[in-house]
Amino acid sequence: MRRYTISGLIVLAILAAFTRGLPAQKADQSDADKKQIAAPSQDLSGVWAIRTPRGITWYNYALTADTPPMTPGAEAQFKNNKPSFGPTQFESPNDLAYGCFPPGVPRIYAAVQASMQIAQVPGRVIMFSGRNVRQIYTDGRKHPQDAHPLWMGHSIGQWEGETFVIDTVSVSDRTWLDRMGHPHSDALHLVERFQRTAYDKLDLELTIDDPEAYTKSWTAQRTFQLRPSTGRVDEAICEDMFVNEAFGVNPILPSRQ
How far apart CA 242 and CA 250 sit, in angstroms, is 9
Average pLDDT, the chain: 80
Asked, for residue 31, whether it belongs to a domain, the answer is no
Least confident of 3-7, 207-211, 231-235: 3-7
Asked, for residue 26, whether it belongs to a domain, the answer is no
Asked, for residue 71, whether it belongs to a domain, the answer is yes
The number of folded domains in the chain is 1
Please, how many CA atoms are within 13 Å of residue 250, restricted to the half-sphere of its CB?
0
Asked, for residue 257, whether it belongs to a domain, the answer is no
Asked, for residue 24, whether it belongs to a domain, the answer is no
Asked, for residue 162, whether it belongs to a domain, the answer is yes
Q: What pLDDT does 149 receive?
A: 94
Burial of residue 41 (number of CB atoms within 10 Å: 0-12, 13-18, 19+): exposed
Residues 58, 171, 186, 155: what is their CA dihedral angle, to the nearest 10 degrees? 110
Per-residue confidence band for 6, with pLDDT thresholds at 50, 70 and 90: very low
Closest by CA to 115, choosing from 200, 176, 47, is 47
Q: What pLDDT does 255 receive?
A: 36
* Residue 131 CA: distances (Å) to CA of 50, 103, 165, 245: 17, 10, 24, 20
Residue range 85-112: mean pLDDT, rounded: 78
Cβ neighbour number for residue 12 with a 10 Å cutoff? 14
Asked, for residue 208, whether it belongs to a domain, the answer is yes
Asked, for residue 255, whether it belongs to a domain, the answer is no
Which helix H or strand E contains 208, and what residues bound it?
A: strand 201-209
Three-class secondary structure of residue 99 per DSSP: helix
Residue range 72-81: mean pLDDT, rounded: 95
Q: What is the CATH number of the domain that holds 143?
A: 2.40.128.20
Amino acid at 62: A
Three-class secondary structure of residue 224 per DSSP: strand
Helix-strand-coil split of the chain, %, nearest 5: 20, 25, 55
Q: Percent of the chain, pLDDT > 70?
A: 68
Which residue range forms the structural domain that includes residue 236?
A: 6-18+36-247
